[in-house]
Amino acid sequence: MKFFVDTAEIAEIADLAATGLLDGVTTNPSLIAKSGRKFLDVIAEICALVPGPVSAEVTATDTETMLKEAAVLRKIAANVAIKLPLTWDGLKACKALSDDGATVNVTLCFSANQALLAAKAGAAYVSPFIGRLDDQGQDGMELIQEIKDIYDNYPDLETEILAASIRHPIHVMQAALIGADVATVPPAVLRQLVKHPLTDKGLEAFLADWKKTGQSIL
């Protein structure tokens, strides 16, 4: 499974990229607004930090303007992925952009039928929103499983499942078990993946015993 981080905070991205665990970055208008910075500047800085795909989302709702915005975003860096909403206009833009060699991430996916349409339109990634479905009393992981089953039925479909709206480490584990290609996670959740109380307890015990020896490696 590949790990993308879902943030527009440069310091967070730089710190996580230093681990070698980061395969890409996803952003959206809400995250850009939270950063308080200019959209194009933020995307350019992220692209310089991370060699993998950096999703930059259009804000237009009609195909023609989506394509114009995408043209601006694609000029920022070669690793920009154009993020489009899963609407009829978004699918038309996805087809045009993917035919032109662009990497497209189709977002706001809430059904398996939507994911099938995104794949048919040539999306490199489709982003099902797990947490938001959970919030509505549905099982977000059931959607990941449905998309995985459908895509497996049709090997010619090359779209990767990008599990999004991940709220906690259990979401990551469940998505990995199902076979999602990518998980995009908030920085705090990515850091939580390394945590386990028995790891901390074991390290504490080892260090206490080492201290008793009076030795130093350096």
The tens digit of pLDDT for each residue in 4-18 reads 999 999 999 999 999
Question: Is 123 a domain residue?
Answer: yes
Question: Is 191 a domain residue?
Answer: yes
The tens digit of pLDDT for each residue in 187-201 reads 999 999 999 999 999
Question: Is 93 a domain residue?
Answer: yes
The tens digit of pLDDT for each residue in 122-136 reads 999 999 999 999 999
| Residue 51: count of CB within 10 angstroms of its CB | 14
Determine the structural domain holding residue 87 and report its residue range.
2-213
Question: Which sign, positive or negative, has the C-alpha torsion 45, 46, 49, 55?
Answer: negative
Indicate the burial class of 207 (C-beta count within 10 angstroms; 0-12, 13-18, 19 or more).
exposed
Q: How confident is the model at residue 111 (pLDDT cuts 50, 70, 90)?
A: very high
The CA distances from residue 58 to 7, 46, 70, 208, in Å, are 16, 17, 7, 54
| Residue 34: count of CB within 10 angstroms of its CB | 12
The tens digit of pLDDT for each residue in 89-101 reads 999 999 999 999 9
Residue 86 tokens read as 């899963």
Question: Is 193 a domain residue?
Answer: yes
Question: Is 218 a domain residue?
Answer: no
pLDDT above 90: percentage of residues in the chain: 100
Question: Is 34 a domain residue?
Answer: yes
> In which residue are the tokens 């490199």 written?
124
Q: What pLDDT was estimated at residue 65?
A: 98
Q: What pLDDT was estimated at residue 63?
A: 98
Q: What pLDDT was estimated at residue 74?
A: 98
The overall average pLDDT reported for the chain is 97
Residues 59-84, mean pLDDT to the nearest whole number: 98
Active site residues: 83
Q: What pLDDT was estimated at residue 190?
A: 96
The CA distances from residue 13 to 27, 109, 176, 189, in Å, are 11, 25, 22, 13
Q: Tell me, what CATH number does 15's domain have?
A: 3.20.20.70
Q: What pLDDT was estimated at residue 86?
A: 98
Provide the number of structural domains found in the chain.
Answer: 1
Q: What pLDDT was estimated at residue 48?
A: 96
Q: How confident is the model at residue 30 (pLDDT cuts 50, 70, 90)?
A: very high
The tens digit of pLDDT for each residue in 44-55 reads 999 999 999 999
